[in-house]
Each structure stands twice: as C-alpha cells, then as structure tokens.
Structure 1
Amino acid sequence: MSEQDTGGPPSFDDPFEGEDVEQRIYGTLLQTREPTGVTAIAEQSGCDPKTARKYLEWFTDLGIATRHDGRPVTYERNDAYFEWRRVNGLATTNSLEELRSRIADLTERIDSYQQEYHADHPNEVDALRVDGDIDTVYADLSDWATALRDRRLHERAQQKLADTGGRASP
C-alpha cells in the first residue's frame, strides 16, 4: 500500500501526481522564491512550455504571479497577493474583538521574546552567542518572527474591519 493510500503525504518522487496541469503549474509557482523561466516551470510541472506560459499569463492577470520582462521572461509568486488573501480571510472570519484578542496574545509573546533575548527583533540575535540549547534558540527565533508577521497581518485585518464598520466582504 502506498503512502497516499494510507492518507500520508504524497511521494517526493512526484508531488503533483494526479493533479491537472493547472494545479501542477500553480503548485510549482507557489514554490518559486525567485524569478523562474517558463521552461523551468514547465519542466517542474511536467507540461509543455506553451501550456505553462498560458497559465502563467493567466495567473499574472489574476495577481497570483508577477511577470518579469527580459530574456527570458520569468515569473514568480506574488507574495503581496497571498498576504492580501490572508488579511482578507482574517477579516472575514473574525470579529474585531477576536482580532484584538489575538493581537494582544501575539504582542505578549513578542514582548516575552524581546525580554528574554534583549533585542527588539529576532534578526538582532546571534543564535550562536546565546547560552542554551541551539535548537531551542532557533525555534524561539523562528516563532518570534512568525509572531511578528502574524501580528502585522492581524493588525491589517483589524484595520480593514474597523474601516468597514466591523463587516468585511468575502
């Protein structure tokens, strides 16, 4: 029985097995962290470059991808789009009170890390110079950075709700 049959994660050999070409290209695009050529995206997605280009242009029109003109033309995920989606999702699924409560919790967690590591931001901490278990320090710094990002997103969602009188449209 394969891992997929047991409900486990997909095989690393073919993570897009069973998905249609649009889903494969979208999945590949989500994994890009720098501008990537159509040919490379097509190869990773297992499709023809012409097909990849068609979907990449469509994703660009939707705001999901960013196109960089040049030779060759390259594409990458548009992080601003995904951040907007996250903020919109928070604003539509939470009340102002819930957002305020979550912001307060995140602020408390951030303040705790700032006091523990005597720094305003995790980037200011040299993990190799901190006394303690290095794995714990790295986990703390990662959690701290996540808390900072999450607080910023929740604050944006709170502002969105406040600007609309407490109601956000989906």
Structure 2
Amino acid sequence: MRMTENARRGPPPEDFSAALGERLDNAPADERVYRVALELTDPTRVSDIAARAECSKNAARRHLNRLADIGVLTKVTENPATFERNESYFAWRRKNRLMELSEREYKRRLGELLSEDEGYRETYGVDSPDNLDPLEYHDYGDSEQVWLDISNWEAIRTEIRALRQAKHDTSPGEGLV
C-alpha cells in the first residue's frame, strides 16, 4: 500500500498538538515523563511534571531520578525536588550525532549552511549578524523579519561551528574545515 504525501508529512500543524497528546496518552509513564523532561528549561517541581505527564508523583519522581542518574536531567533542589534539562548532556549527544555523519553528508550539510550564510551576507551587506541593527534595515522588510533573519543567521553560524568542531574532533591532526 502506497503512503500518500500527506500521510508521510504527518498531521497539519493545527492538529499537531492533538496528535502529540494522543500519542502521549497511549505511552507508558516513563515515556510521558521523559517527553516532559525534554522541555524543562527551568527548575520544575515533581508535582508539576507529574501533572504534565499525567502520572502519579511517585512514578514521576522515580523516572526523574533515573533520568538524573544517567545525566539527562539535573536535580536542582532536594526539598522540594526540582529538575531541569542537563544542557551539557544534550550538547554531548548532538556532537556525537554530528561526528557520526558520513563524509558525504558532512560536506553536503556544511555546503548548505555556508551557502545560507553567504546569502545573508549578500542580502544585508555585512559579514556577521552581530553587525546588524534591525531598526536600521527597514529596506529589507519590517524589523520583525530582520530579527528573524538575525536569529536564523546566528543559528546557521552555530551549526557551522558545531559541524566543524565535530569534524575536527574525529580527524586528529587536521585543521578545521
């Protein structure tokens, strides 16, 4: 049976939250806690996590402690127990995924990013997003669009650095690409 294009792409954006909620409703408690834990950018109480994961506080605490033991989370306080994402763990995971890229995939991705970087440099006539003031670039769209471009450009440059660093770490003795 051939999958339609819409089926491959998943639900339309307006249905995404409902579809995610449905998948989490059917997931075991440890999976629901893990999904909530991925979003913890601020110290969050066990009771709040349990409510979001729709499980008991004891189940949430057990799964959160396990996630803290393996480094996914950091236990910020003991009483009340609060947890947040361990950003260094996610940086490490990301670096490992980048290091596993084939040479071909690495070159393709780096080429795309460098092309996008060059496009922004040409569009705005500056070498870096740090040199942009969105209020002075009204000829390129409204200031909100320029802010978005600055954010995207910074993200592209961060990705270029991450790719180059991952490549450097896997090729001892070679300079950065």
Report the counterpart of residue 130 of structure 1 in structure 2: 137
Using CA pairs below 8 Å that are at least 6 residues apart, which structure has the higher relative contact order?
Answer: 1
Does the residue aligned with 1:14 lie in a helix, a strand or coil?
Answer: helix
What is the CA–CA distance in structure 2 between the aligned matches of 1:164 and 1:90, rounded to whole Å? 19
Report the counterpart of residue 161 of structure 2 in structure 1: 152
Report the counterpart of residue 71 of structure 2 in structure 1: 63
Gap regions ≥5 residues in structure 2: 1-6
Does the residue aligned with 1:69 lie in a helix, a strand or coil?
Answer: strand
Q: Deviations over 1:24-76 (max 9, x none)?
A: 11111111221111111111111111111111111111111111125322111
1:5-84 pair list within 5 angstroms? 7-8=10-11, 9-11=16-18, 14=21, 16-84=24-92
State the 4+ residue runs in structure 1 displaced beyond 4 angstroms. none
What is the CA–CA distance in structure 1 between the aligned matches of 2:109 and 2:20, rounded to whole Å? 39
Q: CA RMSD in A?
A: 3.0
Gap regions ≥5 residues in structure 1: 166-170
Alignment check: 8 A CA contact 1:109 1:147 kept = yes
What is the CA–CA distance in structure 1 between the aligned matches of 2:127 and 2:42, rounded to whole Å? 30
What is the CA–CA distance in structure 2 between the aligned matches of 1:48 and 1:98, rounded to whole Å? 44
The alignment's TM-score, normalised by the length of structure 2, stands at 0.73
Alignment check: 8 A CA contact 1:119 1:125 kept = no
What is the CA–CA distance in structure 2 between the aligned matches of 1:64 and 1:163, rounded to whole Å? 29
Q: Deviations over 1:93-150 (max 9, x none)?
A: 322x65356445534533553562636335x533233213225323322320220221
What is the CA–CA distance in structure 1 between the aligned matches of 2:33 and 2:173, rounded to whole Å? 36
Does the residue aligned with 2:25 lie in a helix, a strand or coil?
Answer: coil
Report the counterpart of residue 168 of structure 1 in structure 2: none
Report the counterpart of residue 95 of structure 2 in structure 1: 87
What is the CA–CA distance in structure 2 between the aligned matches of 1:164 and 1:56, rounded to whole Å? 41
